[in-house]
Structure 1
Amino acid sequence: MSVVRTLKKLDRGSGMPLYLQLKEVLKEHIEANYRPGDMIPVESEIEEMYQVSRMTVRKAIDELVDDQIVVKQQGRGTFVQSPKITQDMSRIFSWTEEMQQLGKQTETRGLEIQEVRPSRKMVQQLQLAANEKLISIKRIRYANGEPIVIMINYLRASHIPGFLETGLKSESLYDDLEKRYGIRFSDAEEIVSAREASDLEALALQIEQYSPVMHIVRTSYLADGTPMEVVDLVARADRYQYSIRLSGNSRSRNLI
Structure 2
Amino acid sequence: MLDRNSKTPLYQQLKITLLKYIEENLNEGDSLPIESEIEKMYGVSRITVRKTIEDLEKDGIVMKHQGRGTFVQSKKIIQDAGTITSWTEEMKSKGKTIETINLHISEIEPSRKLIGELKLDKGEKIICLRRIRCADGEPIAIMVNYIRSKYVPGFLEKGLTKESLYEELEVDYQIQLESARERIQARIATDLEAVELHIPPYSAVLHITRTSFLPDGTPFEVVEMTNRSDRYQYDIHLNGRNKYKS
Indicate whether the TM-score tops 0.5: yes
Between the aligned residues of both structures, percent identity stands at 51
Quote the Cα distance in structure 2 between the aligned partners of 1:34 and 1:180: 41
1:229 deviates by 0.1
1:115 and 2:107 are equivalent in the alignment: yes
Aligned partner of 1:125 among 97, 101, 117: 117
Q: CA RMSD in A?
A: 2.4
Matches within 5 A, 1:90-105: 90-105=82-97
Letter in 2 for 1:234: T
Letter in 2 for 1:151: M
Aligned partner of 1:218 among 210, 218, 221: 210
Letter in 1 for 2:181: E
Deviations 1:165-193 (A, max 9, x none): 00001000000000110011100001110
Q: When the two structures are aligned, how many residues end up with a matched partner? A: 183
Quote the Cα distance in structure 2 between the aligned partners of 1:252 and 1:200: 48
1:208 and 2:196 are equivalent in the alignment: no
Q: Secondary structure at the match of 1:121?
A: helix
Quote the Cα distance in structure 1 between the aligned partners of 2:25 and 2:73: 10
Q: For structure 2, which runs of at least 5 residues remain unmatched after alignment?
A: 1-21, 29-60, 63-71
1:36 deviates by 5.5
Aligned partner of 2:219 among 224, 227, 233: 227
Letter in 1 for 2:122: A
Structure 1 match to 2:181: 189
Matches within 5 A, 1:19-38: 35=26
Quote the Cα distance in structure 2 between the aligned partners of 1:82 and 1:252: 36
Letter in 2 for 1:239: R
Letter in 2 for 1:132: E
Structure 1 match to 2:17: none
Tell me if the contact between 1:82 and 1:239 (Cα under 8 Å) persists in the aligned partners: no
Tell me if the contact between 1:139 and 1:152 (Cα under 8 Å) persists in the aligned partners: yes
1:248 and 2:234 are equivalent in the alignment: no
1:109 deviates by 0.3
Structure 1 match to 2:129: 137
Larger radius of gyration: 1
Going from structure 1 to structure 2, the CA distance change for 1:192 and 1:131 (only over 3 Å counts) comes to same
1:171 and 2:163 are equivalent in the alignment: yes
Q: Secondary structure at the match of 1:177?
A: helix
Quote the Cα distance in structure 2 between the aligned partners of 1:200 and 1:82: 27
Letter in 2 for 1:183: I
Deviations 1:96-154 (A, max 9, x none): 11111111111000000000110001000000011100000001000111100000000
1:180 and 2:172 are equivalent in the alignment: yes
Q: Normalised by the size of structure 1, how large is the TM-score? A: 0.67
Structure 1 match to 2:10: none
Structure 1 match to 2:140: 148
1:250 deviates by 4.5
Quote the Cα distance in structure 2 between the aligned partners of 1:240 and 1:85: 5
1:93 deviates by 1.4
1:251 deviates by 2.9
Quote the Cα distance in structure 2 between the aligned partners of 1:250 and 1:199: 44
Structure 2 match to 1:88: 80
Tell me if the contact between 1:134 and 1:154 (Cα under 8 Å) persists in the aligned partners: yes
Quote the Cα distance in structure 2 between the aligned partners of 1:253 and 1:231: 38
Letter in 2 for 1:158: K
Letter in 2 for 1:137: L
